[in-house]
């Protein structure tokens, strides 16, 4: 099995979910997507993660992002778990949780790392663009809950840099200055970046975020 890498087409699949059967690519449509895996149902850290994602629904929606979770348990188990998530996290889970009892999707996305655990998925995160290309992969160990503020930050960066000739510096947050990519010639900067720019070094040129 080949490892999934950035720029690859996200593998398509059909699966049962808590919101009915889906074909992944059809379900994504022209949206961005976040697919993230959980070791199993009724696990404590995952319960907090799914509750957090539900609370961030508006943030994902305004970025045109669809979210789907995955666990190696079945739909019936997922539905029971959702009741616990809604109760303990004071929210309503309103995105599909994929059932993957045969580990078909887990294998497609290389979510099981045998040296960590031979049967449970690690905490994988995949961000997928509207062309169905994998734009980001983050893998957390089962013991560490994910930072969904960071995932939103990365989505902001990916969407900005997909349409403008910029990159985002360390610790960048939406609204802050960005880096002009090296491919842009100095003479083209005024037209591309009318807000102006600052040359820190010839290879490090900063400009206000262009899409604001």
Please list the active-site residues.
Answer: 46
Distance CA 98, CA 160 (A): 29
What radius of gyration do the chain's Cα atoms show? 19
Distance CA 123, CA 142 (A): 6
Distance CA 46, CA 92 (A): 15
**Residue 19: closest CA among 75, 64, 57, 70:** 75
Cβ atoms 71, 121 nearer than 8 A: yes
């Amino acid at each position: 099995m080949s490892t999934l890498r950035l720029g690859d087409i996200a593998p398509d699949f059909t699966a049962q979910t808590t919101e009915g059967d889906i074909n992944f690519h059809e379900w994504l449509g022209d949206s961005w997507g976040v697919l993230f895996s959980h070791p199993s149902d009724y696990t404590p850290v995952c319960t907090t993660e799914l509750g957090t994602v539900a609370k961030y629904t508006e943030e994902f929606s305004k970025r045109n992002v669809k979210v789907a979770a995955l666990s190696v348990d079945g739909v019936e188990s997922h539905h029971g778990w959702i009741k616990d998530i809604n109760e303990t996290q004071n929210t309503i889970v309103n995105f599909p949780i994929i059932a993957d009892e045969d580990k078909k999707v887990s294998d497609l996305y290389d979510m099981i790392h045998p040296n960590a655990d031979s049967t449970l998925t690690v905490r994988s995160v995949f961000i997928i663009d509207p062309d169905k290309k994998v734009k980001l992969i983050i893998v957390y160990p089962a013991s560490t809950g994910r930072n969904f503020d960071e995932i939103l930050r990365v989505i902001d960066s990916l969407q900005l840099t997909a349409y403008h000739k910029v990159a985002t510096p360390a610790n960048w947050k939406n609204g802050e200055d960005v880096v002009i990519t090296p491919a842009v010639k100095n003479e083209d900067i005024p037209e591309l970046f009318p807000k102006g720019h600052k040359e820190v070094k010839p290879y490090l040129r900063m400009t206000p975020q262009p899409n604001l």
